[in-house]
Chains A and B, each alone.
Chain A
Amino acid sequence: MTDAVRLETLYKTYDDTGTAVTALDGVTASFGAGTFTAVMGPSGSGKSTLLQCAAGLDRPTAGRVFLAGTELHAGKDTAMTKFRRTRVGFVFQDYNLLPALTVEQNVLLPSRLAGRRADHARARAVLDRLGLLDRRDDLPERLSGGQRQRVAIARALIGDPAVVFADEPTGALDLRSAREVLSLLRTVVHEHGRTVVMVTHDPVAAAYADSVLFLADGRLAGALSAPTAEAVAERLAHLGDLVGAGAEAVA
């Protein structure tokens, strides 16, 4: 199995406030193509930082990132943006749709920015699959949270990325919308062969994934495959004891 994402000894230190904070402390992990992985850990354990460094949204202080076999060079912002366009989809907790654009325009934006012609047929096919075809001319403000998140997922999928990263995609949603979004992500992986890496703090959400990677204090703290909500909750509760012990675990 080829890896969609490979992270080699990633370090990330923030020191813009004067006191240095180590958010990632030597993380090595890989995510196989066509898998659905959840990343879990206490608040502040470095989950978002991990995702952003892996997606080329931020630069690691040290370490290497490979996406679909190509190394991401943390150089100029513009170069990183162009690299991201073809390889990465990203879904945020608060959607980050452009409020001035309609649903369809939002979905088409990445390819338009990449200088490609707007492929309306493809956008509509994706929206149709996500049950949003009849809302394609609406502005995001007219949609519910769950619908907005599905639009964000459609936008992340349209560029045929090697991997879709999702940072707490259900964090702002009610239970029902959250379930819809999680099932959608599962479908994306299992029926359409995509790779999804999702950060969540909800054991129930993590149970939708094929495996779970635990993070504590910026280090890996174990993994779990075929997770159930109970098993995940149990592991989370004991995460403190595992810090350091299982740091080299791999997904």
Chain B
Amino acid sequence: MIAVALRGLRHRPGGFVATFLSAFLGATLLMTFAAMLDTAAGADTVSAESLSTTAAVAGGWCLIIVIFAVTSTLSLAVRRRAEQTALLRRLGATGPQVGRMIVGEAVAVALVASAAAVPVGLVLGRLLLALMQDTGQVAAGVGYAFGPVALGVGFGVTLLGSVVAAVATVRRTAGPAGARPERPRARRVAGVVFLLIATNCSVLTATLMDGKGIDAMQTAGQAGIWAAIGLALFAPELLRLVTAVLAGPVRLAGGAAGELAVLGVRQRTRRLAGAVMPVALFTGIATGTVYMQGIEDDAAAGTIQPAYARDIQTLNYVVVGMITVFVAIMLVNSLIAATAHRRREFAQQRLAGSTRGQVLALVSLEGLLVTATGVLSGSTASLFTILPFGAARADRVWPDASPVAYMTIVVIAVALTGLSLLGTTRRTLRGPAVAALR
């Protein structure tokens, strides 16, 4: 079965590009930050503390996002090959055999991605150390070390994340073919737990961290991430809600295409919810971080700041940038997965009299509902960061800030969704409709 798995990888590498990319980027970032811990081992106490704090704060964020990204891309890659898996099952492969195959593939991808990440992580770690030395946070004499912690965390987390994701996917797909019941209860419970953690972080920020200056960022930043994940776990419910509210206008705007879009979203809520998640994460984390940094900059103007304030500012923007890249991968990947297999459905619509333009309109309207849900969830999540941080740092809950940054974030979210959706759809519409049914 492992041999079949490796052959599968060689022959159909396309489905694994996204998994590989997110595992590679994730392992790179994890190694970069974990190298700070290696470096701390040979540094003086003050430098060591700065290094450990940076690794813990930024590395912690990475950890959550990496696990999330690897899980989502991997399970989509596996689901995209559901046909092949089903065929193997029918040819007599047992559930555990197919399971070993999928886990084997995941391990292979994770290993290759982690190995490829080593040289890049090595260089980025050196840059990060140089940055911290420039700002005087770490003594100039501290030597760079890239050792067991960097490698252990980089390989370990990536491998573990991939195996857990693969096992979870196997458990979902290995049952009797076809029957794949959703377990909304577990998902909802997890969502509530994440939202409670988020609320806890928000309350801590507004109370305990009040007056602690820039340090309040730690809890405030986390609050937004937990809230974004929590709300993303409710994506199916939120998508249904948004669709119910917007059904009228969408039908009005799209005619028959609008009607099909509303029906399509209702029927495929679960699949489309996978695309809501990255939009929510991106909007939530980007908005939260950018506005939090804005509040901080205003509050800090003209006062004496701890040496690491500049570093944190840099790190914040690095985190936003890297989350944007991750989310772009997740989003494009989940939208491609949600669209490519609709080749047949689109062909059937065209045979029923739909023009290419009408199919594109339908897909755009579906994308609109998905994006609206994601942006709404993300914006709500960002408030878990912004409001308490404003209360703690500037004594005003609603920030005195320009909406331009927020609009930019929304435009990026819409553009990412729109471009990947329309790009994939256009490709599935090539050639005559009958050709898609052969």
Contact = CB atoms under 8 A, between A and B. Distances in A.
Contact of A155 (B256, B352, B355): B352
Contacts of B348: 96-98
Interface size class of A (residues with CB under 8 A): 20 to 34
Contacts of A82: 355
A110 B432 contact: no
A81 interface: yes
Nearest to A88: B353
A82 B350 CA distance: 11
Interface string A103-132: 000100110111100000000000000000
A31 interface: no
Interface residues of B, number: 26
A78 interface: yes
Contacts of A59: 432
A143 to B, nearest CB: 16
B270 interface: no
Contacts of B351: 57, 90, 92, 96
A109 B345 contact: no
Contacts, number: 67
Given A59-B432, A100-B263, A110 B357 contact: no
A109 B259 CA distance: 10
A135 interface: no
B255 A112 contact: yes
B355 A112 contact: no
Nearest to B345: A98
B46 interface: no
A115 B254 CA distance: 10
Contact of A115 (B255, B260, B263, B433): B255
Contacts of B354: 81, 113
Given A98-B345, A100-B267, A109 B353 contact: yes
Contacts of B353: 81, 84-85, 109-110, 113-114, 159
Contacts of A234: none
B356 interface: yes
Contact of B352 (A58, A98, A99, A115): A98
A92 B350 CA distance: 13
- The 7 A-B residue pairs whose C-beta atoms are closest, nearest first, are A112-B256, A110-B353, A113-B353, A78-B355, A100-B267, A96-B348, A81-B355
Interface of A: 52, 57-59, 77-78, 81-82, 84-85, 90, 92, 94, 96-101, 106, 109-110, 112-115, 155, 159
18 contacts: A57-B351, A58-B432, A59-B432, A77-B355, A78-B357, A81-B354, A82-B355, A94-B437, A98-B349, A98-B352, A100-B260, A100-B267, A101-B263, A106-B352, A109-B353, A113-B353, A113-B358, A115-B255
